Amino acid sequence: MLNQNIKAKIDQLWDKFWSGGIANPLTAVEQISYLLFMRRLDAMDRKKQEDAEYLKRPYKSIFEKDEQRWTHFRNLPAEEMLTHVRDKVFPFIKSLGKEGQSFSKYMQDAVFIIPKASLLVEAVGVIDEIYTEIERETKESGQTFHDTQGDLYEYLLSEIATAGKNGQFRTPRHIIQMMCALVDPKLGEEICDPACGTGGFLLGAFQHILTRHTSAKLRHKDENGMERGLVGDKLTDKRQWQVLKEKTFHGYDFDTTMVRIGLMNLILHGIDSPNLAYMDTLSKAFSEKDRFDVVLANPPFKGSIDKGDINEDLGLKTTKTELLFVNRIINMLRIGGRAAVIVPDGVMFGSSNAHTALREMLLDKCELQAVVKMPSGVFRPYAGVSTAVVVFVKGGKTENDWFYDMQADGYSLDDKRQKTEENDIPDVIAKWGSRDPKKDSDRKAKAFFVPADNIRENSYDLSLNRYKEIAYEEVKCDSPKVIIKRLKELESEIGKELIELERMVE
């Protein structure tokens, strides 16, 4: 989690863009992202250069000229800096990546629109201060630089959610980590998010795979009690790295700005060639079917799509996006493919034909493995909706479904979301790994199995409260005679104290 100094500097950056004439939060995020990208590219390139010199290996810088570096233009006079960044540095950034790759494709439409030299100078100064603080924080907190930079991005992007842009809000990293643990994405699998936004789920899957291929001595427990290790020292074959960074991660979003921000986010985290694309995956234009091994998603809950735009492959008769996206994800998966998807509670018990049909699809055309009921404060302060994570495998038929009643996620469930001791996520993961339908049948427990036939008998209702039993503790009371005796004794004591008080005031 970011310290208050970094948060204050990001707030300061927002204020400068607002007063500098860029009031649209999404536009401001995009322009700030370009500057963060320029700053980080220079630092990353210099680090690789130093490592190559130390190891006495050849290294070719990504920069064609030193004048394209942040460390060069940051010292220029204001007006010269603006002209230089707009006419030389930004065109270079747009040209990065191989022809045909997502980054080069979607950066072609990118525009540098910081209007004032004074705003650029101020922004460059604040960003330098932010990265200096990140480097200090990394040394003191034990977090990796990528983690802290990821937190920076999350905090920066929260402004989009505050503005209500397309109903977008960030999925907290610890929730993403939990979902990755439930579906366990592996090296060599193709992983997708059909509504990827800034790429948080793809990044989570990348880091999950890296942790699985990092030696135990190089792993650590993060602030959420989750095991982390981003070295990937067990990946000794260059082809493994190439597959991981170029062929593993796929994402779609219907906002080109979000695609560009997502691309920069993933590249800055070490995924060299993410495959992100501009696409409404519910529309007729989308054609991917039976393609992916793993899907991780928190698709938009709000709104509906025009009936005429809905892809014919989607069998549900509805315009509600929260239902259509789950239908889309089922279609995207290969047989045997796995998914973990966040859905609003209404999907679990809604009584419309489309709600019931989707739940039938999950139980009868898939193996529905888990419903993890999350507390309603998980997405505060951006949304108070109550949600659940559904985990399923495409194909087969459900015999038993595992429910977990998650009541705490390690943070307060109010708008402040402050760190707390109560955290069910490690328990979710531990119980998931040792689950057994023959043993886990106590419906008074946090985790329990329900036979699928029982769910079918209840109109495919998947709400946890339908099946969970409340454990009532028997309250033992004294007999009326004993209570009356105590009252008399109390009355006698009070009488004595009143007499004593009267004597004192005489």
Report pLDDT for 80: 97
Region of poorest pLDDT, from 75-89, 261-275, 326-340: 261-275
Give the contacts of 245 (CB within 8 A, at least 6 positions apart): 270, 271, 272, 273
Q: Indicate the SS3 state at residue 360.
A: helix
The pLDDT tens digits of the residues spanning 72-85 come to 999 999 999 999 99
Q: Is the peptide bond before 381 cis (omega within 30 degrees of 0)?
A: yes
Give the contacts of 352 (CB within 8 A, at least 6 positions apart): 318
**8 A C-beta contact, residue 438 and residue 414:** no
Residue with tokens 């999925």: 171
Q: Could you give the number of structural domains in the chain?
A: 1
**8 A C-beta contact, residue 266 and residue 249:** yes
Distance from chain centroid for Cα 103 = 22
Residue 105 pLDDT greater than 60, yes or no = yes
**Does 309 fall in a domain?**
no
User: What's the pLDDT band for 165 if we cut at 50, 70, 90?
Assistant: very low
**Does 148 fall in a domain?**
yes
Residue 472 pLDDT greater than 70, yes or no = no
The listed range with the strongest mean pLDDT (159-163, 168-172, 228-232, 374-378) is 374-378
The pLDDT tens digits of the residues spanning 286-307 come to 999 999 999 999 998 766 788 8
Length of the chain in residues, anyone? 506
**Does 154 fall in a domain?**
yes
Region of poorest pLDDT, from 160-169, 174-183, 249-258: 160-169
User: What's the pLDDT band for 474 if we cut at 50, 70, 90?
Assistant: low
Residue 397 pLDDT greater than 80, yes or no = yes
The pLDDT tens digits of the residues spanning 39-50 come to 988 988 888 888
d(CA 477, CA 482): 10
Count other C-beta atoms under 10 Å from residue 139's C-beta.
Answer: 10
**Does 291 fall in a domain?**
no
User: What's the pLDDT band for 107 if we cut at 50, 70, 90?
Assistant: confident
pTM: 0.84
Strand partners, 277: 252
d(CA 404, CA 401): 10
Identify the CA nearest to 107 among candidates 157, 37, 39.
37
**8 A C-beta contact, residue 409 and residue 425:** yes
**Does 34 fall in a domain?**
yes
Give the contacts of 154 (CB within 8 A, at least 6 positions apart): 170, 172, 173, 200
Domain containing 84 equals: 1-163
**8 A C-beta contact, residue 134 and residue 149:** yes
List strand residue ranges (DSSP E) for 331-380, in order: 333-344, 366-373
**Does 153 fall in a domain?**
yes
d(CA 363, CA 397): 6
**Does 10 fall in a domain?**
yes
User: What's the pLDDT band for 147 if we cut at 50, 70, 90?
Assistant: low
User: What's the pLDDT band for 27 if we cut at 50, 70, 90?
Assistant: confident
CATH code, domain carrying 69: 1.20.1260
Residue 104 pLDDT greater than 80, yes or no = no
**Does 144 fall in a domain?**
yes
Which H, E and C letters describe 36-49, residue by residue? HHHHHHHHHHHHHH
Report pLDDT for 191: 98
Percent of the chain with pLDDT over 90: 52
